[in-house]
């Protein structure tokens, strides 16, 4: 039997462990010592001075040339130096963001039997899941999720989206449309700031045939958060990720100069990050950056990660304009379908995969 068709072990919902009041973290969620988070001691504060940049998108493609250029410069330096930024005035309705997140919180609050109707398998990952990767005996993350395809429309299967709570399907459709528009604008901005034609990146990803999917992450409360991670260190395989974090629980950490920085979410902002495919297309001028999620013993956390991806079957390679004699193409071409298979088999693994694409120059 194809090993991608089923999980190697019985699936355990992390939320049910947490809801049953488990007092210790089972061994399969305990990370090796070096991967465990250094949690804050009670009473100490996170370093308020170090955080990912905040970029105001109000003037992106507005009439004022100078403000427009300044916005591009901010995006560009955030993509070079951090691979991450928080976007405010991004054009997506704050109300829609809140309603969509609330609907998903409600979904995860439904009885287990209801959620189980959407149980996923590693063949497509669509639906309600509790692990990434199919390696038997692998250490697991302290989270459950719901994964769905949004684009291309031919892969959109609304009957696999939650029927409850009632507005969920409609909200996801509307939310996806708004966030897709934001991704298109960001791609234009990134193209220009890389010195490429405005439509370069969009075209390189397949024009109107790009892919997009949504993963809603649910991080249950954890009795021993110092031993585990909600999501292990990884870079996102696609192009751009638009993350709607929980409105009042932090958890995302971004690696910067070897240190883990805990992102403090700005109200109504999106957290935007560069994925591996932008690193390839930009010939590593923009970098995808490792990030992970920590959990806590006080509160559950919900986040919505919208992944904007290339069309699955076209080779992705560095833009010709960014390849020179003194900066040869750093990566060999690969399709996204091939690329994504790796993470689907092996689970989150830092930046191991993009490293493996390196050409021998």
Site string for Ni ion, 13-52 (x = CB under 5 A): ----------------------------------------
- Residue 237 CB, shortest distance to ligand OGA, in Å, is 9
Q: CB nearer to Ni ion: give 280 or 322.
A: 280
Closest to 53 measured CA to CA, from 80, 25, 73, 82: 82
Interaction site with ligand OGA (CB under 6 A):
215, 217, 231, 236, 243, 245, 251-252, 291, 293, 303, 305
- Residue 291 CB, shortest distance to Ni ion, in Å, is 6
- Residue 348 CB, shortest distance to Ni ion, in Å, is 8
Among ligand OGA, Ni ion, none, partner that 316 touches (CB below 5 to 8 angstroms by kind): none
Read off φ and ψ for residue 132, nearest 5 degrees.
Answer: -120, 130
Q: CB nearer to ligand OGA: give 68 or 344.
A: 344
Q: CB nearer to ligand OGA: give 289 or 319.
A: 289
Among Ni ion, ligand OGA, none, partner that 187 touches (CB below 5 to 8 angstroms by kind): none
Cα–Cα distance measured from residue 303 to residue 252, given in angstroms and rounded to the nearest whole number: 10
- Residue 301 CB, shortest distance to ligand OGA, in Å, is 7
Cα–Cα distance measured from residue 194 to residue 188, given in angstroms and rounded to the nearest whole number: 10
- Inter-residue contact 164 to 110 (CB < 8 Å): yes
- Residue 141 CB, shortest distance to Ni ion, in Å, is 12
Among ligand OGA, Ni ion, none, partner that 18 touches (CB below 5 to 8 angstroms by kind): none
Cα–Cα distance measured from residue 29 to residue 142, given in angstroms and rounded to the nearest whole number: 7
Among Ni ion, ligand OGA, none, partner that 220 touches (CB below 5 to 8 angstroms by kind): none
Closest to 81 measured CA to CA, from 320, 307, 285: 285
- Residue 237 CB, shortest distance to Ni ion, in Å, is 9
Q: What angle do CA 227, 291, 22 make, to 5 degrees?
A: 25
- Residue 293 CB, shortest distance to Ni ion, in Å, is 8
Q: CB nearer to Ni ion: give 72 or 141.
A: 141
- Residue 199 CB, shortest distance to ligand OGA, in Å, is 27
Q: CB nearer to ligand OGA: give 59 or 268.
A: 268
Among ligand OGA, Ni ion, none, partner that 252 touches (CB below 5 to 8 angstroms by kind): ligand OGA
Q: Which of 51, 126, 178, 236 binds Ni ion (CB under 5 A)?
A: 236
3-class DSSP assignment, residue 122: coil
141 counts as binding Ni ion under rule CB under 5 A: no
Per DSSP (E only), the strands in 220-298 are: 231-234, 240-244, 252-256, 259-262, 270-274, 291-293
Q: CB nearer to ligand OGA: give 206 or 251.
A: 251
3-class DSSP assignment, residue 315: strand
Per DSSP (E only), the strands in the chain are: 54-56, 84-88, 127-129, 144-151, 211-219, 231-234, 240-244, 252-256, 259-262, 270-274, 291-293, 301-309, 315-316, 334-335
- Inter-residue contact 17 to 143 (CB < 8 Å): no
Residues that bind Ni ion (CB under 5 A): 236
């Amino acid at each position: 039997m194809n090993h991608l068709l089923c999980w190697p072990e019985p699936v355990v919902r992390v939320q049910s462990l947490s809801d049953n009041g488990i007092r210790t973290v089972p061994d399969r969620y305990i990370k090796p010592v070096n991967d465990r988070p250094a949690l804050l001691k009670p009473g100490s504060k996170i370093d308020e001075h170090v955080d990912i940049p905040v970029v105001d998108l109000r003037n992106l493609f507005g009439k004022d040339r100078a403000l427009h250029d300044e916005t591009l410069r901010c995006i560009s330096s955030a993509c070079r130096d951090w691979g991450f930024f928080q976007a405010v005035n991004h054009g997506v309705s704050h109300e829609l963001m809140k309603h969509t997140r609330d609907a998903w919180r409600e979904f995860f609050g439904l009885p287990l039997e209801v959620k189980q109707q959407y149980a996923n398998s590693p063949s497509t990952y669509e639906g309600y899941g509790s692990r990434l990767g199919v390696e038997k005996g692998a250490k697991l993350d302290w989270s459950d999720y719901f994964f769905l395809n949004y684009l291309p429309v031919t892969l959109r299967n609304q009957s696999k989206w939650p029927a409850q709570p009632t507005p969920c399907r409609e909200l996801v459709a509307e939310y996806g449309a708004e966030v897709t528009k934001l991704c298109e604008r960001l791609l234009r901005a990134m193209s220009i700031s890389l010195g490429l034609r405005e439509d370069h990146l969009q075209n390189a990803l397949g024009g109107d045939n790009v892919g997009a999917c949504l993963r809603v992450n649910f991080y249950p409360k954890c009795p021993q958060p110092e031993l585990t991670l909600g999501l292990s260190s990884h870079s996102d395989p696609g192009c751009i990720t638009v993350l709607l974090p929980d409105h009042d629980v932090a958890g995302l950490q971004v690696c910067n100069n070897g240190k883990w920085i805990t992102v403090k979410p700005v109200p109504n902002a999106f957290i935007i990050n560069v994925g591996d495919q932008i690193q390839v297309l930009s010939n590593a001028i923009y970098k995808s950056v490792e990030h992970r999620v920590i959990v806590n013993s006080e509160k559950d956390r919900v986040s919505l990660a919208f992944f904007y991806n290339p069309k699955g079957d076209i080779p992705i390679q560095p833009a010709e304009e960014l390849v020179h004699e003194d900066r040869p193409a750093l990566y060999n071409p690969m399709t996204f379908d091939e690329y994504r298979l790796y993470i689907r088999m092996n689970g989150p693994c830092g930046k191991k995969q993009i490293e493996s694409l390196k050409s021998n120059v």
